[in-house]
Amino acid sequence: MAELKYMSGFGNEFVSEDPRCPGALPEGQNNPQVCPYGLYAEQLSGSAFTCPRPTNKRSWLYRILPSVCHKSFECIHEGQVTHDWDEVEPDPNQLRWKPFEIPKASQRKLDFVSGLHTLCGAGEPRSRNGIAVHIFLCNTSMINRCFYSSDGDFLIVPQQGKLLITTEFGKLLVEPSEICVIQQGMRFSVEVFGETRGYILEVYGVHFELPDLGPIGANGLANPRDFLVPVAWYEDRQVPGGYTVISKYQGKLFAAHQDFSPFNVVAWHGNYTPYKYNLDNFMVINSVAFDHVDPSIFTVLTAKSTRPGVALADFVIFPPRWGVANHTFRPPYYHRNCMSEFMGLIKGHYEAKEKGFQPGGGSLHSMMTPHGPDAECFEKASKAKLEPERVADGTMAFMFESSFSLAVTRWGLKTSNCLDKSYYKCWEPLKSHFNQSSK
């Protein structure tokens, strides 16, 4: 596979045309009477026309045929996608999942769409306010099929296996320890190279942004230059047997057929694009004296709510770093939170729970449900000699944190058969060290 090319920047105004068709972008206007090469002009709007300029998102696509050329959409039943948050009773317990199992291709072929499973979520795609957490488990590539979400943006976190994602804007190769964001309405197809697994955070109604840096200043955390956007690539391919376009619409899947590839965009310009980011580029900030900075300091991307300082969802990572805090219990503190915390592990061992929390699994600590280091971690860290030390080398854990109270689906609690029902036992050995006569 030839090395892919990208443009760098976050939220920039980009321009790109396939080098096979130089001059495909119209000069000086968006919608000429006749486009170069006989192309069709099509605008993809990611925001209302009248949004303020800093939040106004749109791109112009110049394509061989417009995307309106398809048969009627019909409801299909694939995967385990849902937004029915009332299908099982709420469960406020600490929840942990063993690695989600990927079926063997010899037993059952699953591509990215048929392998989508909704784990938890809240809110409503129709009212454009909410989130969903999905798990994807696949073993075969999408052939003459593409997908898009009418409901929201997909933040995709591959955990096992790389993804070659073809979009209307070009191609992205996304490997474990990288993420990509495919924004609302963007059509894409996923090619895999074996058994593949990962996590998805979907947000309804808003788009992901870089967090404000406040007193940190102009630089730090995820730097804008490290985000990569694909360059234009097209195929003029007829599909006599039918090409299937799958839409996630109001929490359900619908399919329409057409007789050509949707990846027929010869040129495009705009600021509404897919993008990827390598988590190893995150500039980590940490305490250098005592105590913890809160984990919000590890935020890569945020999806803001209408309340200042409160996120619909944050994407947070716990990357390799130095731990140097003096007189401090260095692992994560015990916590009860007004937010919901879903955690996943891409590789390695999470510092607060080195056993039980495995790559490809997950945990959910719901709103105001207590959580924190297990007994073994507490005893070890309480007695450790405090010297500068590397933390989380060879590890990449992450968190989807949300201001919504998340409901777990039937698949998450029952059908997946991955729920670790003994999770609570990791805290049972904790014992009282209280001694009134000694400080």
147 and 218 both lie in a single domain: yes
Q: Among this protein's residues, is 292 annotated catalytic?
A: yes
Token pair belonging to 318: 């716990």
Of 292, 327, 349, 433, the active-site residue reads: 292
Strands 238-249 and 145-149: parallel
Vertex 312 angle, CA 368 and 152, to 5°: 135
Of 249, 279, 309, the domain-final residue: 279
User: Over 90: is that where the pLDDT of 322 sits?
Assistant: yes
102 and 251 both lie in a single domain: yes
Q: What is the pTM of this model?
A: 0.97
CA–CA dist 118, 36 (Å, integer): 43
| pLDDT for position 352 | 61
Dihedral of the alpha carbons of 247, 114, 205, 283, in degrees to the nearest 10: -130
Q: Is residue 19 part of a domain?
A: no
Q: Is residue 376 part of a domain?
A: yes
Which of 179, 182, 160, 156 has its CA nearest to residue 169? 182
Residues 161/197, Cβ–Cβ less than 8 Å: yes
214 and 312 both lie in a single domain: no
CA–CA dist 180, 264 (Å, integer): 21
Q: Is residue 49 part of a domain?
A: no
287 and 388 both lie in a single domain: yes
293 and 336 both lie in a single domain: yes
Give 253-272 pLDDT, tens digit per residue.
Answer: 999 999 999 999 999 999 99
Of 219, 250, 279, the domain-final residue: 279
Q: How many domains does the chain have?
A: 2
User: Over 90: is that where the pLDDT of 97 sits?
Assistant: yes
Residues of each annotated binding site for homogentisate: 350, 371
CA distances from 152 to 66, 206, 409 (A): 22, 8, 19
Domain that residue 291 falls in: 280-420
343 and 385 both lie in a single domain: yes
Give 369-385 pLDDT, tens digit per residue.
Answer: 999 998 889 999 999 99
Give 394-429 pLDDT, tens digit per residue.
Answer: 999 999 999 999 999 999 999 999 999 999 999 999
Give 184-235 pLDDT, tens digit per residue.
Answer: 999 999 999 999 999 999 999 999 999 999 999 999 999 999 999 999 999 9
Of 228, 252, 279, the domain-final residue: 279
Residue showing tokens 């964001």 = 181
337 and 409 both lie in a single domain: yes
- Across 139-143, 269-273, 391-395, least confident range: 391-395
| pLDDT for position 354 | 66
User: Over 90: is that where the pLDDT of 109 sits?
Assistant: yes
Token pair belonging to 94: 């600490």
108 and 176 both lie in a single domain: yes
142 and 291 both lie in a single domain: no
CA–CA dist 238, 169 (Å, integer): 19
Q: What is the CATH number of the domain that holds 338?
A: 2.60.120.10
Residues of each annotated binding site: 335, 341, 350, 371
Give 27-43 pLDDT, tens digit per residue.
Answer: 999 999 999 999 999 99
Q: Is residue 179 part of a domain?
A: yes
Q: Is residue 14 part of a domain?
A: no
Percent of the chain at pLDDT > 90 equals 92
Residues 255/276, Cβ–Cβ less than 8 Å: no
Q: Is residue 427 part of a domain?
A: no
* DSSP summary character for residue 269: E
94 and 182 both lie in a single domain: yes
Residues of each annotated binding site for Fe cation: 335, 341, 371
98 and 228 both lie in a single domain: yes
Q: Is residue 180 part of a domain?
A: yes
228 and 344 both lie in a single domain: no
Residues 251/81, Cβ–Cβ less than 8 Å: yes
Which of 202, 198, 201 has its CA nearest to residue 360? 198
Strands 389-391 and 321-323: antiparallel
Q: Is residue 307 part of a domain?
A: yes
**157 DSSP β-pair partners:** 199
